[in-house]
Amino acid sequence: MIQLPVNLGDHHLHGGPGGFSHRPWDTTGVTRGEDGAPEITFSLHSPDGDQGYPGAVDVSVRYRLHRDGRLHIGFHGTTGAPTHLSLTNHAYFNLAGRGDVGAHRMKIAASRFLELDENLLPTGRLMSVRGTPWDFTIEKPLFRDRPAYDHCFVLDGWDAANRVPRECARVHDPGTGRTLTVSTTLPGVQLYTPDFATGTAGRGEDGYRGREAFCLETQFFPDAPNQTEFPSTRLDPGETWNHETVLAFTVE
């Protein structure tokens, strides 16, 4: 048993109080990919025992911006000892640029989602979205059935051997015509809509307040190390953690 440091009540969230999002990352500078698209890679070394995790881990994230509006994100990781690794992108979006995102129309390719207990931890049960506020199999306004979300959706048709990103979510703002399409090689996507009064980083000095942004975090399932039925996040020496997410922006 490994005890990780807690940073949300009795629980460990986002890699702990000193998680990767709180670190300065090294960069390799802006280069050009094979198709001429500009790209930049950020890398980080995490020593053995960092935040309680075993194994010295080296991770990198490559961002490649294509001319057609696709932002390609490639995640990579290796370890010196058996450990657990799950990387994601936690960007906030508002396709209108400002204001309530409740009218944004969302579709998610998931017929199941993770049931949560009173502490917002997965129980291990995969629940059908049918007849619930979590049913985004047919496009609908984001806040039509709930005022906020913080739930992981189980993506339909996921194959652990597949390394080609598959479309998993689509969001459309009727007012501007802007559309975000998300594709990934990962098994889940966390839909999170912030519910805080002071705001988070975003356009303008005040950032985004509650109901003014959404996140679609492609990822492995939360609490996977403690849920044997979930896809495993274990990474062993000699293996490479290698997953991709693509954010495509268009105007309709």
Q: Give the span between the Cα atoms of 88 and 215, in whole angstroms.
A: 11
b/e 220-246 (16+ beta carbons within 10 angstroms → b): bbbbbbebeebeebebeeeeebebbbb
The letter for the amino acid at 247 is L
Residue 246 makes CB contacts below 8 A (sequence gap 6+) with: 70, 71, 72, 73, 165, 182, 183, 184
Q: Return the half-sphere exposure (C-beta side, CA atoms, 13 A cut-off) of residue 70.
A: 16
Residues with a catalytic annotation lie at 90, 217
Q: Give the span between the Cα atoms of 71 and 19, in whole angstroms.
A: 24
Handedness of CA 22, 24, 28, 31 (dihedral sign): positive
Q: Give the span between the Cα atoms of 172 and 104, in whole angstroms.
A: 6
Q: Give the span between the Cα atoms of 215 and 99, in whole angstroms.
A: 15
In total, the chain counts a number of residues equal to 252
